[in-house]
Amino acid sequence: MLYNGKNDCTAECSDKLHEECGVVGIYLNKGADGAAKLCYYALHSLQHRGQESAGIAVSDGTNIEYHKAMGLVPEVFNASVLQPIHGHIAVGHVLYSTSQHAHIENAQPFVTRSKLGGIAVSHNGNLVNYEQLKELLEETGSTFVSESDSEVIIKFIGKNYKKGMERALTDTIQMIKGSFALCVMTEKCLIGARDPQGIRPLCLGKTENGWVIASESCALDAVGAELVRDIRPGEIVIINEDGVLSFEFGERTAKQTCLFEYIYFARPDSIIDGIPVQEARLRMGAVLAKESGVEADVVIGVPDSGLGAAMGYSAASGIPYAMGIVKNKYIGRSFIAPTQDAREKTVFVKLNALKSDVNGKRVVIIDDSIVRGTTAHRLIDVLRRAGAKEVHFRISSPPVKFPCYFGIDTPCRADLISSSLTEKQICKKIGADSLAFISIEGMISALQGLCPASDGYCTGCFTGKYPMPAPGELSGKRI
């Protein structure tokens, strides 16, 4: 991630690199082939975590080959690309960064070859000490081809490789600070590692003839693997022909998993740290109904990530649920369109009201978040045009007031509507009859009800209290 240290929204500020990604690792028993194909299917099911580029690196035990390109998984890979890539170990990656930084150089996995052997790395997360580490590496002769913080990880592993892979990885992991879910591959083994706070998710699955590591359990389902468990915060898992070896690096720190994984980012059919994502969304909707109920005729949700909370709100309030909004599946992401005008136009093309569900009715509409306010503003317009009598907006996350430095794509502070306006002012600005956000306590109670053992969440984007100091927040250098 690039930080420019500005607190206003200049072109430079909005030009920073955000990364949200999905990672996969496959290890099949020796003699098996087809890791590339399994990796393809697993990556395809993580497409929601990144649509900018896709890549797969495969080892046949002696040699690492890879292919990566800009585009969606099925655009980057087809049978003629996959068939010639043989091997029983693979790592894959999908990248989601802003279009200003859409360069093939940033695509992953990063692969390096030295006389000691090859290494491939897929990383989801953001390193907060990237600038210092990069400088350190440059002083000792390293050169960089990308703007990605993930490149420092492979450079450090490469530099330490002579100590052995296990040591090289632990030394590297002790240097890097921030969020990371890593899949690392050598010619002989697959390694998974999760940052000490467990900010980004990573899980382990078992197939008939091997192992799978992935950002989300929906990728395990896609390849017929069974979810064994989540990789623990601060855990390294090494998979080779002797089986699975697990150990913990560094000191134990409090777990702080990103709440946005449950709110928006993860797929509803995934289970993260024992919590089924759809269940979490249903419960957040129920809490929202309890905290800010309103008299209405129908509850609708903003597709796709608002639907679970809308169903939960409807069930808890007794107000009938209806489709209400239709999403055009073939349109790109309005969220990262480069200008506000483009973002607003995209929302109109992307989302439309179902008149028969809302005409003449008092509507409660649930979305997972308000970031800039673009979607809410446009949707209220669309619903009123379709004849809605009243529109009550309910949000299944607390107000997003602070940028994320740990891997979720949020704009700089000046663009976050909740950082400068109160709930009442936002309600007026978006043109709703009423507006309410879930409370932080309410949201955490919804999750704890599902898996008390999974306690500990990062609330940085709601409270400004981050799991560790972030460069953009230090000494007034705010983005």
Of 27 and 96, CB closest to ligand AMP: 96
- Contact between 375 and ligand AMP (CB under 6 A)? yes
222 and 41 in contact (C-beta within 8 Å)? yes
Q: Which of 41, 249, 335, 348 binds ligand AMP (CB under 6 A)?
A: 335
Binding residue for ligand AMP, selected from 65, 151, 409, 473, defined by CB under 6 A: 409
Q: Which is nearer to ligand AMP, 232 or 283 (CB)?
A: 283
SS3 sequence of 193-254: EECCCCCCCCEEEEECCEEEEECCHHHHHHCCCEEEEECCCCEEEEEECCEEEEEECCCCCC
Q: Which is nearer to ligand AMP, 52 or 367 (CB)?
A: 367
346 lies in the binding site for ligand AMP (CB under 6 A): no
321 lies in the site for ligand AMP, by CB under 6 A = no
**Closer CB to ligand AMP, 58 or 309, in the complex:** 309
473 binds ligand AMP (CB under 6 A): no
Is the preceding peptide bond at 109 cis, omega within 30 degrees of 0?
yes
Q: Nearest distance from residue 351's CB to ligand AMP, in Å?
A: 9
Least Å from the CB of residue 15 to ligand AMP = 17
> What single string gives the DSSP state of each residue in 346-397?
HHHHHEEE-HHHHTTSEEEEEES--SSSHHHHHHHHHHHHTT-SEEEEEESS
Choose between 155 and 200: whose C-beta lies nearer to ligand AMP: 200
Least separation, in Å, of the C-beta of 336 and ligand AMP? Answer: 7
**Site membership for ligand AMP, residue 261 (CB under 6 A):** no
Q: Which two tokens stand for residue 338?
A: 């480069």
> Closer CB to ligand AMP, residue 86 or residue 333?
333
By CB under 6 A, the residues from 156 to 195 that bind ligand AMP are none
Residue of 21, 203, 258, 458 with catalytic role: 21
What CA–CA distance (Å, rounded) separates 279 from 285? 10
Segment holding 120, helix H or strand E: strand 117-124
Binding segment for ligand AMP (CB under 6 A), chosen from 60-68, 274-282, 374-382, 466-474, is 374-382
* Nearest to 200, CA basis, from 255, 133, 130, 132: 255
**Which residues 6+ apart lie within 8 Å of 386 measured at CB?**
353, 354, 355, 358, 359
User: Is residue 418 a contact point for ligand AMP (CB under 6 A)?
Assistant: no
How many residues make contact with ligand AMP (CB under 6 A)? 17
Q: Please state the closest distance from residue 2 (CB atom) to ligand AMP, in A.
A: 17
- List helix spans (H) across 23-129: 35-44, 73-76, 79-82
Query: How far is the C-alpha of 311 from the C-alpha of 321, rounded, in Å?
Result: 7
Q: Which of 21, 57, 408, 432 binds ligand AMP (CB under 6 A)?
A: 408
Cα separations in angstroms, 257 against 125, 142, 180, 283 = 12, 33, 11, 18
Residue-wise over 186-209: b if at least 16 C-beta within 10 A, else e?
A: bbebbbbbbbbbbbbbbbbbebee
Active site residue 203: no
Does 264 contact ligand AMP by CB under 6 A? yes
Residue pair 26/35 in contact by the 8 Å Cβ criterion:
yes
Phi and psi at residue 161, to the nearest 5°:
-60, -30
| Closest CB to ligand AMP among residues 108, 369 | 369
Looking only at residues 354 through 373 of this chain, which bind ligand AMP when binding is defined by CB under 6 A? 367-373
x/- mask, ligand AMP, residues 281-310, rule CB under 6 A, reads: ---------------------x--x-----
Enumerate the active-site residues: 21
- List residues near ligand AMP by CB under 6 A: 264, 302, 305, 333, 335, 367-376, 408-409
